[in-house]
Structure 1
Amino acid sequence: MVLKRSSSLPDFRHVKALRSNSNLTVPGKSGSPLLTLFLDDGRCELYNPIEGKTEKMLGDFSGSRFLASCGKWFLMLDSRSRLYIIDVFSKDRIGLPPLESVVSDLCSLKRVGDRDKEFTWELTDGTVFNAFADEIRASLWVDEKAEELALVWFFDAPAGFLCCYKKGNDHYNLIPVGQFGIPKMLTGLHGLVLRGYRLYILTTRNFVRVIDFSGKKGFEELTDSDPSPTFSPLGYSCNFSIAVTTAGEVLLVTNTVFERSERTFHVYKKDPNADPDDYMPDLLEVHSLGDEALLLDLGITVPANPTLGIKPNSIYFTRHYLIRYGTSDRSRVLPPYEVDICVFNLATKTLEPFPAPPNMNLKDARWIFSLT
């Protein structure tokens, strides 16, 4: 059954009532979390990495593009550039407002004629930026127990604006990330984490913006008016991203691939004793996540759970996706996904790889966990 969009969507109570034929089993028979594998031909499979076999064919999504996931809920963009969320087990589907329904005093988003892939940001001063649907990036948060839903999306180029959505809205609120009324040190978008209705943005100058959009209207900037950098520059020898613990602490996670294709991870946090006026604060390496695991694709930590096969002090990884501060140069080529499925034990510094079947041409992969 397909759910139609209405002003009160999403109604998770209604969705739950439709699930009599949906049997979600997050751990495999071996007690390991499962994977969703996205194939080049548009198919999606539920895969058991321990047993090395496909558990279930989840469907053919060749007419849509995968943007983000949270548990069994996927955020997709269809061929008409319309956003929707789907439960990949029950196939319950929730439509979302049109991309053009952005509420902002700075600009408006419009489709180019009757085209489905081209848009323009039109600023109030008359400036116009082109944007393309194949450069939309997003992050999703679904909490079925609390019946809450949040998501953010943006065009990779230009990356001056980020749009947020919360349950019950019929529009998107616009959060400026370019130089539109915000301090220069808080501009840019190197990475982000969405945890509930709280958004963490790593800026180009290594500050972390914290934004809350849980209120009835718009959003609230929680970042100090005169912040100090959260992290020191690490150079370009490694990939890095931010993560947020269950306690709300922001971590910096690096992953490096050596010449023999060996991957290693390091986790850092800001020195709590650092001088607030120090613009190159020291980092402290975190050697243990305690009884938590880090889901790096989502950028969050969760409690370990032996029943679900979630190991403590471990990093679950499928691919590195570094959000770049976009450029309007349409000639550039976006790098392909780097699929490398593994679990890294932070205490022992050992890596357990889970290669996909050799006959599969993977486009993307995600660990699938129940977060509630």
Structure 2
Amino acid sequence: MASPPLALAQSPPHCWSELPLDLMQLIFERLSFTDFERAKSVCSSWLSGSRRSKPNNKIPWMILFPEEKNYCLLFNPEDKKEKLYKTQHLGDDLADSFCLATCRSWLLMYTFREVPFYILNLLTLERINLPISYVSDSPILWIDERSKDYLVISDDLVYFKKGDNSWKKISEELSDFHEGMVFKDHKLYCLTDDVLGVFDFSGEFPVKVYRVNVGGCVKPETRGQINMHDPWEFHHLRRRNNVVVTLGGDVLIVRSKSPAMSYSWNFRIFKLDSSNGKTKWEEMVSLGDEAILLDLGITVLAKDQEGLTSNSIYFTGDELNFYRTEIFVFNLDTKKVEQLPPLVSSSVSFSRARWFLPSFRND
């Protein structure tokens, strides 16, 4: 008997759930974080296919913390409808907690309860209570998604758990680095008025890599003339120096300035150049295709990314000590600051807004 025609023997699938695995993987890797999570729930076949894929997870999200609530609101810049997503119940003590730092979908939280510090996963609801009694106003959080090893770095102390559930508390010379810290690729970048210090945390103990003089890149804080009839925040920090690490590993110092009695900002960026065996700081006029997320101390690819503008600096009013939750972007081309569209009704009160890079689970 003759064999059936090839077209009949290998008829194409008539159902989306029957897509070949390699084709399904190509689709998943083109999806944003939101669409990736939605696609996983289509059917068991798609859930299985998602376990071999990663989403196009390059777009940062914004977390908004409603006052006296046990949930958060999430804003995805890719969403043209400016839609807010409400998280699950994040614990009875969330209303009394403050977010001090983020690491992907993990939050370092402080509460006034018996266990004051804990780490919370915004999406999976995993929680780790910390045996810490104090951290500075701007600590660093890092956590390994699989092992749950983590680092909490404060002004003058480093706490970490590694593998065997043991705690180590390390006193370092970090107390001098009060301007800002960034942790990326197991390296800690610390800034003072005079020097930039870099520490390597890839081993059992942190090792100092180098110290570089920051020269005229960093300016000390100044305060405006005090008028008792004005809100106190007008007299607070008028200058700020942030250390930023780019996608390519370059180290930047971002210097911000706001004139007294004003909500306008100006930014200057300096890049560390170590070519030809010498170290020097050169002022940058363009970030190219990247954008800075000031509170995370990193750059992200903004070219062809919906919702992000390249050659820009994203920050919140709170980052510059104005205690406001509005989201701003400073365009380095136009030298102007723009406020992003309001995300919620003015009747809703928020304690803080933060950027984070959503992480996902292959399950």
TM-score (norm 2): 0.64
Aligned to 2:284: 286
Q: Is 2:166 aligned against 1:170? A: yes
Q: 1:350 to 1:137 in 2, by over 3 A?
A: closer
Aligned residues: 283
* The one of 51, 56, 60 aligned to 2:81: 51
Aligned to 1:207: 195
Give 1 or 2 for the bigger CA radius of gyration. 2
Tell me by how many angstroms 1:202 deviates: 0.5
Tell me by how many angstroms 1:274 deviates: 11
- Structure 1 distance, partners of 2:290, 2:335, is 16
Aligned to 1:109: none
Q: 1:58 to 1:238 in 2, by over 3 A?
A: farther
- SS in structure 2 opposite 1:297? coil
Q: Is 2:153 aligned against 1:153? A: yes
Question: What letter is aligned with 1:221?
Answer: K
Tell me by how many angstroms 1:370 deviates: 3.7
Higher relative contact order (CA 8 A, sep 6+): 1
Alignment of 1:251-262 (within 5 A): 251-258=252-259, 261-262=263-264
- Structure 1 distance, partners of 2:144, 2:304, is 21
Aligned to 1:249: 250
Once the two structures are superposed, residues 164-185 of structure 1 have per-residue CA deviations (whole angstroms, 9 ceiling, x without a partner) of 4265352134142367xxxxxx
* The one of 179, 198, 209 aligned to 1:190: 179
- SS in structure 1 opposite 2:282? strand
Aligned to 1:140: 141
Tell me by how many angstroms 1:284 deviates: 2.7
Aligned to 2:119: 85
Aligned to 1:116: none
- SS in structure 1 opposite 2:210? coil
- Structure 2 distance, partners of 1:319, 1:240, is 15
* Contact 1:26–1:370 under 8 Å retained in 2: no
Aligned to 1:220: 207
TM-score (norm 1): 0.63
Residue identity over aligned pairs, in percent, reads 32
- Structure 2 distance, partners of 1:33, 1:192, is 20
Tell me by how many angstroms 1:356 deviates: 4.6
- Structure 2 distance, partners of 1:68, 1:230, is 29
Which structure carries more helix by proportion? 2
Structure 2: unaligned runs, 5 residues or longer: 1-31, 37-57, 222-237
Aligned to 1:36: 63
Once the two structures are superposed, residues 98-156 of structure 1 have per-residue CA deviations (whole angstroms, 9 ceiling, x without a partner) of 12xxxxxxxxxxxxxxxxxxx6xxxxxxxxxxxxx485642223564x877543333xx
Aligned to 1:112: none
Q: Is 2:333 aligned against 1:299? A: no
Question: What letter is aligned with 1:286?
Answer: M
Q: Is 2:311 aligned against 1:313? A: yes
* Contact 1:207–1:231 under 8 Å retained in 2: no
- SS in structure 2 opposite 1:360? coil
Structure 1: unaligned runs, 5 residues or longer: 1-22, 100-118, 120-132, 180-186, 323-334
Question: What letter is aligned with 1:165?
Answer: F
Once the two structures are superposed, residues 172-226 of structure 1 have per-residue CA deviations (whole angstroms, 9 ceiling, x without a partner) of 34142367xxxxxxx34221111132101112x32011111111x22111125xx
- SS in structure 2 opposite 1:243? strand
Q: 1:311 to 1:175 in 2, by over 3 A?
A: farther
Question: What letter is aligned with 1:303?
Answer: L
The two structures, once aligned, show a CA RMSD in angstroms of 3.8
